A and B are shown apart, each in its own frame.
Chain A
């Protein structure tokens, strides 16, 4: 490597150059470093410390309460329900949007003339304001005025109110989640698909794998491994952060069946200003996200050699 070659014949001029470079490095990295400390590291430390107190916004007195907030949280019905709902939501959205994203990517990739149009259509929800589209979805599925229920009624199904039915509400929200994420996952899978060398398909062909399914099972799927892992991890984290649709459409209703983690965190922290419990929830949220990220790093590490 050039670095090794250069250090082999260090000269005074070279030394000065290295000092100048290091100086410039510090100078250019400093704004980033300051923001990282002020906006990332310090808040994380503070939120952890807050989780050990009973601090309330505006209150002058506060005291350390140890792990009380955490033990309260683990016994708190609303928190546990929110966590459970969030997991159910994730469990629907992740497989739904990953599988559909993969199917769409494979189908779109084979198209020639219509490829660009399909790609644009599927990607559209990724860029549009989810709040505005949530209002539209709410209207679409409105039991009295919405076209979906009217259509179902005309086809002879009984009336249903997706966002008012405790058993359907998470499914309804998950459909919107899938609607929004399919295009994003499609783009990632398309990138993964174009990176598969064509010779592999030719080789598989010679080996007798000429059916579409054979080609998928023997070449596409194994070669997409790293992409799939990445897509699953990003989708999991995105789905875990569900907030917008809940805030606009259901606000946790009916009967708390659509309370999700971030919405509960928002209510406890920013509507009731109970900073201690909200901080404990924040730490729980961070731990989950970090676990998913670490799991990804760990799995990638184990299978990079292919």
Chain B
């Protein structure tokens, strides 16, 4: 085959592939772009804008301050931070030792526990929601941070992920540590956990994303704005603003999505690793 046609082939191929990728990227970015554009558009213009992308005057200040004063957005985000931090802390405290036990220690109940973990991986939170809700209602614990966090203290996904990660940890190092007089707890604290930093980062990013974004469970156990997490807050905000002030609503949406987008841009590698580590084995 001659060289020249090959090069033009390549060129055409790359033009076509860029064309489709940009088309797709435009579809993906459309809501983000429109959210930002509307959030800086004056209210009067929203109703006449149509598909005019660029606002003729800017009202970013008004819209963003309105979003922040009309609804307790910062409170929602603080609630989100507390809930995510609490969930992640307990998940790690349970999943790291649990994963280590399943990967490296032999005890008779091990296959049973691992089987339960695998079973748990297939059970969505909506399945356990009713009984946990009834228990919380009977204990008068609805509308608390604890209620929002409780079902997620157990992450079978976390246990599974750490178990897979620890499986490949060299047995010789653990042996050597035992001979040096390390207890099993010391091995976890001083050898296993430091080695698992990449897995912890990947899991943290995964856990924070899913619980910051979760709507189903917070919607069930909280009825007040005091404990509402960002998605629930967004719904409350939308319900009081319907039809009237899209600029402020879009500003609110931008504020609520910003933290995770920033986390994602800085920790993209952890995201991807988190998905592929357990996804395709």
Contact = CB atoms under 8 A, between A and B. Distances in A.
Interface of A: 2, 17-18, 20-29, 31-33, 35-36, 39-44, 46-47, 50, 57, 100, 103-104, 107-108, 110-111, 114, 118-133, 135-137, 139-140, 145, 147-148, 150-151, 154, 179, 182-184, 187-188, 191-192, 195, 212, 226-227, 230, 234, 237, 241, 243-244, 247-248, 262, 265-266, 269-270, 275, 278-279, 282, 285-286, 289-290, 293
B126 A262 contact: yes
B100 interface: yes
Contacts of A293: 122
B25 interface: yes
Main SS at interface, chain A: helix
13 contacts: A22-B108, A28-B184, A29-B98, A31-B93, A33-B109, A33-B116, A35-B94, A42-B131, A131-B232, A136-B34, A136-B253, A183-B28, A269-B129
Closest 3 CB pairs of A and B: A25-B107, A32-B98, A150-B50
A263 to B, nearest CB: 10
A286 B253 contact: no
Contacts of B89: none
Given A22-B105, A269-B130, 19 more contacts: A25-B101, A27-B97, A28-B97, A32-B113, A32-B154, A46-B131, A46-B134, A107-B20, A122-B28, A127-B261, A127-B271, A128-B213, A145-B47, A230-B279, A247-B215, A248-B235, A282-B130, A289-B127, A290-B122
B126 A132 contact: no
A21 B105 contact: yes
A31 B268 CA distance: 31
B: interface residue count bin = 35 or more
B268 A129 contact: no
B48 to A, nearest CB: 9
B227 interface: no
A285 B116 CA distance: 19
A187 B31 contact: no
B112 to A, nearest CB: 9
Interface string B107-131: 1111001001100101110111111
B197 interface: no
Contacts of A18: 106
A136 B35 contact: yes
Contacts of B272: 123, 187
B124 to A, nearest CB: 6
B46 A145 contact: yes
B192 to A, nearest CB: 10
Contact of B231 (A47, A131, A279): A131
A142 B212 CA distance: 27
Given A111-B17, A118-B25, A140-B31, A270 B51 contact: no
Contact of A139 (B128, B178, B246, B276): B246
B96 to A, nearest CB: 9
Interface string B79-106: 0000000000000011101101110011
Nearest to B220: A270
B234 A132 contact: yes
B278 to A, nearest CB: 10
A191 B276 contact: yes
